[in-house]
């Protein structure tokens, strides 16, 4: 990247020149000349998925900026995270996924009222809901429901609604307010 110094002819110029050269003038008044980056000839499926997710994040962030209450909320989050603006905070929330860090079955013996303890996390943001699905050995749903938030540190508890066989699979699904979700399944033998 070349910096243009004291050249009144091209000072302040921005844009493409020819096929491969770009001029860009930054807010500080400096003008730079650099070669236009080439797009990759072929994108991997992961690259396509990442680009699509970022496009969806931008769409989400724009819609949040149209709501004054949400915009104010994201401004507060931007200040907390030392981000430049509310838009960036909304993009950040969209791009981060919830994670299920622990499913504890010590207190679950297949009886009504037994507890399944769950730890979930989403860096700098909160998980909105945690669902638990209990299935029998053939995959038939025995029960399902939402876990209750125990605290703001990511601890959730699900109380079994009915007694069931211990030979079950337990699936936990954590979802944030954006709609991102993660799922983890444990087999109880």
**pLDDT higher than 70, residue 7:** no
Task: Tell whether 23 is covered by a domain.
Answer: no
Q: Which range among 33-47, 111-125, 138-152 shows the weakest confidence by mean pLDDT?
A: 33-47
Task: Tell whether 115 is covered by a domain.
Answer: yes
For residues 87-104, average pLDDT: 96
- 103 and 56 share a domain? no
- 110 and 180 share a domain? yes
Task: Tell whether 39 is covered by a domain.
Answer: no
Give which of 145, 146, 186, 144 is closest to 169, Cα–Cα: 186
Domain extent at residue 119: 99-188
CATH number at residue 158: 2.60.40.1220
Site of tokens 């444990």: 186
Each residue of 140-174: pLDDT tens digit?
888 999 999 999 889 999 999 888 766 678 999 99
pLDDT band with cut points at 50, 70 and 90 for residue 118: very high
Report the chain's mean pLDDT, rounded to a whole number: 88
**pLDDT higher than 60, residue 2:** no
**pLDDT higher than 70, residue 6:** no
Which residues lie below 8 Å from residue 60, measured CB to CB, with a gap of 6+?
90, 91, 94, 178
Percent of the chain predicted with pLDDT > 90:
60
- 113 and 180 share a domain? yes
pLDDT confidence of residue 11: 58
Q: How far is CA 181 from CA 4, 30, 78, 102, in A?
A: 48, 44, 23, 15
Q: What distance in Å separates the CA atoms of residue 146 and residue 18, rounded to the nearest whole number?
A: 59
pLDDT confidence of residue 59: 97
Each residue of 13-32: pLDDT tens digit?
667 777 788 777 777 777 77
Task: Tell whether 17 is covered by a domain.
Answer: no
Q: Please give the tally of structural domains in the chain.
A: 2
- 106 and 143 share a domain? yes
Task: Tell whether 73 is covered by a domain.
Answer: yes
List % helix, strand, coil for the chain (3-state, nearest 5).
25, 35, 40
- 182 and 122 share a domain? yes
- 183 and 103 share a domain? yes
- 81 and 162 share a domain? no
pLDDT confidence of residue 87: 97
pTM for the predicted model, two decimal places: 0.72
């Amino acid at each position: 990247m070349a910096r243009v110094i004291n050249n009144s002819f091209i000072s302040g110029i921005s844009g493409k020149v020819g096929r491969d050269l770009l001029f860009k003038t930054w807010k500080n008044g400096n003008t730079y000349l650099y070669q236009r980056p080439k797009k990759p000839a072929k994108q991997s499926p992961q690259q396509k998925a990442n680009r699509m997710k970022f496009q969806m994040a931008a769409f989400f962030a724009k819609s949040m900026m149209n709501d004054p209450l949400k915009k104010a909320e994201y401004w507060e989050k931007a200040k907390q995270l030392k981000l430049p603006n509310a838009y960036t905070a909304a993009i950040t929330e969209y791009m981060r996924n919830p994670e299920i860090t622990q499913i504890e079955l010590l207190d679950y013996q297949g009886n009504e009222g037994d507890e399944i303890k769950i730890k979930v996390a989403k860096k700098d943001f909160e998980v909105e809901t945690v669902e638990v699905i209990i299935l029998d050995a053939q995959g038939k749903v025995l029960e399902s429901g939402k876990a209750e938030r125990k605290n703001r540190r990511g601890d959730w508890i699900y109380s079994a609604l009915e007694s069931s066989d211990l030979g079950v699979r337990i699936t936990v699904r954590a979802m944030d307010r954006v709609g991102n979700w993660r799922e983890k399944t444990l087999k109880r033998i």
